[in-house]
Structure 1
């Protein structure tokens, strides 16, 4: 089974591309971020016509996450535990194809001198705590999304340009490692150690044509899921389509039980 994640940067603006990619790549599960719409405005009918069940946590103008699956979805959470006052639509978790999946949109955190950076760190701390709970169930799960984390130098085109940025700060890396060291697998790095593989290219400065990208979209696997990992990839083609998202889909393939 193929599980993919994609920050579409407005599901309504990107609907033609989304439908095309669902048709061409046909993932079993697709985790979406940055929908930028409420649940009622989500293009449900068009996506259902492609054979997908849908679960959405929406928000007007900003954020928003969803799970699309060819199998029924049993939703468990529509917010990340740990802060009952956090109203931003950044997390949805459910069960499908006998695998637990979550679509996650970690805060960007910039500018770092504002309250946006402490919010990012707090969100990652909450995610760390929740992962500990999930691991205690000893089941296969995949946590996919836009993590807004550049894990290492090889995950960005010019590391020096990112010094001090919220995506690359030491505090961000520390929180990332805390999550990974619980026992999760960065699926892409489990199969590919090369530098220069990216999932995001800024709209500005000709970044796409110059391949000045960063890898910030990740699929993290529990041990039970990692044992079933067959293949991984980043599909760059949608980034080159007309009116693209600045992100492109990242996917992994698991053996079915």
Structure 2
């Protein structure tokens, strides 16, 4: 069984004790991290190696940043950055091979406020992701596109449609762009294995007691190619990690794939 996790760490240096705690407790084979908020030189590789993991990463000072951790064996870097826009300097995409899988760690643009260049950038970025995701599918290899998509796919994926009505994460254009990626032939692993589960949240804001009220939403997704989806055996949100002291505002989401 291959255990693969996506985890928006919300600042890797600030959350390093939480990350090490998580790796030691859950022992994932692959961990895709987002929102490192550290440049390449500041990535704490020695601490990660001490925990038994190798890594590839694509950092950016102060915000963004993505990484792929692999237990026991070094991941093979395939690319950093999405193709299609050579002027895009945001560190939001990294792709590697590990444990027999092609894996991407994705930190999709937030896009707020709606009606600005930020929202337009989000939609353009998602179209670039769709084009690259189609190329990955054509290779017919077990592939997982994991990360913080900053998209709430459906009404049932938020605690409050009214509260999110004007948010870029919940706009019809964002949802349609997400569906276009899935409809290429990917499986939304968490929803596929938990089709009827209520309150399947992965994020709870630090504000307004959202965690205490369980006012969350689902924005962290693992999209599996058919070759990976055929091996899908488990999917869950590790809510315990969100309850820890000085936790990220995201919970890790874990899938298990048969060997």
TM-score category (smaller protein):
over 0.9
- 2:202 aligns with one of 194, 199, 202: 199
Superposed displacement of residue 190, structure 1: 1.2
Aligned residue for 1:178?
180
Superposed displacement of residue 113, structure 1: 2.4
Aligned residue for 2:67?
66
Superposed displacement of residue 112, structure 1: 1.1
CA distance in 2, matches of 1:195, 1:85: 41
CA distance in 1, matches of 2:117, 2:249: 25
Superposed displacement of residue 164, structure 1: 2.3
SS where residue 36 of structure 1 aligns? coil
CA distance in 1, matches of 2:159, 2:187: 23
Aligned residue for 1:215?
218
**Is it true that 1:51 corresponds to 2:57 in the alignment?**
no
Aligned residue for 2:191?
189
Aligned residue for 2:235?
232
Aligned residue for 1:117?
119
Per-residue Cα deviation, 1:34-74 (whole angstroms, up to 9, x for no partner): 00001110111111011101101000001000000012211
SS where residue 206 of structure 1 aligns? helix
**Structure 1: unaligned runs, 5 residues or longer:** none
Q: Aligned-pair RMSD on alpha carbons?
A: 0.6
CA distance in 2, matches of 1:18, 1:73: 19
**Is it true that 1:250 corresponds to 2:249 in the alignment?**
no
CA distance in 2, matches of 1:143, 1:177: 14
- 2:139 aligns with one of 137, 144, 147: 137
**Structure 2: unaligned runs, 5 residues or longer:** none
Length-normalised TM-score, structure 1: 0.98
Aligned residue for 1:91?
93
Aligned residue for 2:25?
24
Per-residue Cα deviation, 1:150-176 (whole angstroms, up to 9, x for no partner): 011111111121112100101101101
CA distance in 2, matches of 1:122, 1:252: 28
SS where residue 30 of structure 1 aligns? strand
CA distance in 1, matches of 2:52, 2:182: 34
CA distance in 2, matches of 1:5, 1:150: 16
Aligned residue for 1:149?
151
Length-normalised TM-score, structure 2: 0.98
Structure 1 stretches of at least 4 aligned residues deviating more than 4 Å after TM superposition:
none
